[in-house]
Structure 1
Amino acid sequence: MTDTLETAAALLTPADLPPGQPLEWPLVDHDGTLLLERGATLVGEMERDFLFRHFAPRRGDRAAPEAGGALAHAKPPEHEAAPTVRDLHLSIGASMGLRPQQGASGAPMHPCKLIGIAPNESIFATLPYADGRPVALTPGENVEIVAIASQAVYRFVCTLHAIHQAPIGYLVLSEPAHIRLLRERKSIRVHARFPVRFGIGAEGYQGVALARGISALGLSLVAPWALGQVGERLRIAFSLRSGDLDTPIETSAVIRNVQQEDGAQCTLGLELDSLTSAEQMAMKVYVFDRHDDVVYWGNSTR
């Protein structure tokens, strides 16, 4: 009952956020994700309308995150006719995501890499890890795999034949079965929906935008106005949630394209700069976890 009262007290209306006045408390979304820090100022009604159109602004000093208030998932694309393993054009070192097929729905994908293909078309992959430990796998079980090839992204099922620890940890997997093409690869991205704080000046974050798509190296953002021109840089901050991991990312990004939508709202394609190895892994895991939501944008970032 107390949580319900606190959440109700935290709910805001546009009248609670007058433009030009510094916030007396942090502003968060329904799930507790930070939108604007205390002291931030809304530029005008346009930015305020954008916030209420895409988020559910609440007082961060009172709000309790709603259960299940995570990220929206789009309907998976229709799959094309399944190719044979010879058609995949997988190269050694190709990035893959792996998870046990039993109870796979909603489970995270664990990153691994292709290290070999046998003459009988069975495949060898590095042993996947989670939280610094090898993922629990059992010989004889089926595993689901998403593989990023040179021209496309595929999903297929293999039977785990063996696990070896030397000379490195690796898996021996059967010939792929039930191969399905997710999307042709020019830019591999997945649908997403989370707030991204942006900074235009020398320091601080002046506003918040909405991420609509993500790849391992870039974002597609919807912003209340054009935040800059192609080639200019922004400072951005956001958090990626995959399973029990919540990775904060703060970096700069190059604007690769700007598309004006109806009204003042704009869509921007960003290429991220200077990601740490941990941030790069978080980006890849996030994409692997949402492989069913693969989308293709012809003129967005890499």
Structure 2
Amino acid sequence: MTLQKTRQLTQEDVPVGQPLPFPLADSAGRLLLPAGAVVPDAEDVRLLFHHGPVLALADGDDVAAAPAAAPAEAPPRLGSAGLTVGTVLQVQEKSAPLRGLLPCRLIGYIEGEALFVTQPADAKRTLRPEPRDVLILRGFSGRAVFTMMCSVVSVGQFPSPYLVLSAPIKMQKMPLRRAKRVQVRIGARVRAQGQAASAADRVAVIRDICLNGALVQSANPAFQPGDRLALDFNAYVDGQLETFALTGRVASGSPALGATASAFPSFGVEFTLSKEQTAQLSHLIIERLDENA
């Protein structure tokens, strides 16, 4: 997901040791660091600019939702997809592909006949579709992301607002291999695992990421193979700003295996993820795969 671009910055525009007055983004408008993050050292600023331009994003810029992948023809059976009751789904109006996606929860289904979901909403917006409107839904089963198309049958209010949808008209499955790496440029805060987060945490840049781990670049080679660390970062996923708080083990020192020579040291990290973190990171990886396709 991208934000609207505003102006290109120089290194002198980024305050050191003070909260950022605006979000930082790469040349494509993807978030590097959120507003309020602290860049503690001038070398960290240099690292952020090392792989290309850095942009300032204006507060209130809208997130541009990427169009959902075109569903492929397939027998649309929800049970075989592994999307269980309670699964969080992301919903998009087929008629308004540029609007941000909204979350809802699958609360039941009748195979081949209907789906029941909570009313899609976030803190800013509630989707209020009419019968016969077509919605695109995306859900993660734990092993694959499924995109499906359904029409609205009816809208209910008791005991809380919900939608009755048709059985999926079309469905697409996108398997996610754990070792599938995607190239990214995401600013992160890094510290030793177990230490409390502070403004003194060094800035790092994640260069590629998968469910197994990431290649991380920093201005300070403070970690050695075997060290445990915490990696915190923000990224837009399905139009929503997500906070990631991951932990892992340093698997390789600088230069990491396969990394090119650089003025900044790189090291590999092997993640230790919970089921919830796996689902969250999977959505980010799938979205970046869509962007790089």
What are the Cα deviations for residues 155-179 of structure 1, in whole angstroms up to 9, with x where unaligned?
0100011111112322111110221
Q: Which has the larger radius of gyration?
A: 1
Moved more, 224-233 or 160-169: 224-233
- 1:267, CA displacement in angstroms? 3.7
1:222 aligns with 2:220: no
1:116 to 96, 108, 128: 108
Q: What stretches of structure 2 of length at least 5 have no aligned partner?
A: 1-6, 27-31
> Matches of 2:81 and 2:215 in 1, distance apart?
32
**How far did residue 142 of structure 1 move?**
0.1
Give aligned pairs, total: 260
For the structure 1 residues 171 and 30, does the alpha-carbon distance in structure 2 shift closer, same or farther, using more than 3 Å as the test? closer
Aligned mates of 1:103, 1:75 — CA distance in 2:
10
Aligned alpha-carbon RMSD (Å):
4.9
Q: Does the 8 Å CA contact 1:195/1:208 hold for their aligned counterparts? A: yes
- The verdict on how the C-alpha distance between 1:87 and 1:130 changes in structure 2, with shifts beyond 3 A counting, is same
Contact 2:250–2:270 (CA<8 Å) still a contact in 1?
A: yes
| Equivalent runs, 1:81-92 vs 2, <5 Å | 82-85=74-77, 86-92=79-85
| Distance apart, 1:128 and its partner CA | 1.6
Shift of 1:122: 1.7
Identity percentage of aligned residues? 19
> Does residue 160 in structure 1 map to residue 152 in structure 2?
yes
Q: Relative to 1, partners in 2 of residues 1:288 and 1:266: Cα closer, same or farther, differing over 3 Å? A: closer
Q: CA separation in 1, counterparts of 2:250 and 2:201? A: 20
Report the alpha carbon displacement of residue 196 of structure 1 after superposing the two structures with TM: 0.9
Question: Is the partner of 2:50 in helix, strand or coil?
Answer: helix
Q: 1:125 to 1:150 in 2, by over 3 A?
A: same
Alpha carbons of structure 1 residues 188 and 114: separation in structure 2 relative to 1, 3 Å: farther
1:239 matches 2:237: no
Deviates more, 1:159-168 or 1:118-127: 118-127
CA distance in 2, matches of 1:112, 1:194: 27
Alpha-carbon distance in structure 2 between the residues aligned to 1:143 and 1:180: 14
**Equivalent in the alignment of 1:170:** 162
Q: Distance in 1 between matches of 2:120 and 2:104?
A: 5
Could you tell me which runs of 5 or more consecutive residues in structure 1 were left unpaired when the two chains were aligned: 1-6, 58-62, 296-302
Amino acid at match of 1:130: D
Over 3 Å counting, the alpha-carbon distance change for 1:255 and 1:139 in structure 2 is farther
Q: Name 2:10's counterpart in structure 1.
A: 11
Residue 53 (1) aligns with residue 50 (2): yes
* 8 Å contact from structure 1 (residues 233, 254) kept in 2: yes
TM-score under structure 1 length normalisation: 0.62
Superposed CA offset, 1:121-152 (max 9, x none): 32111222121653222221000011222542
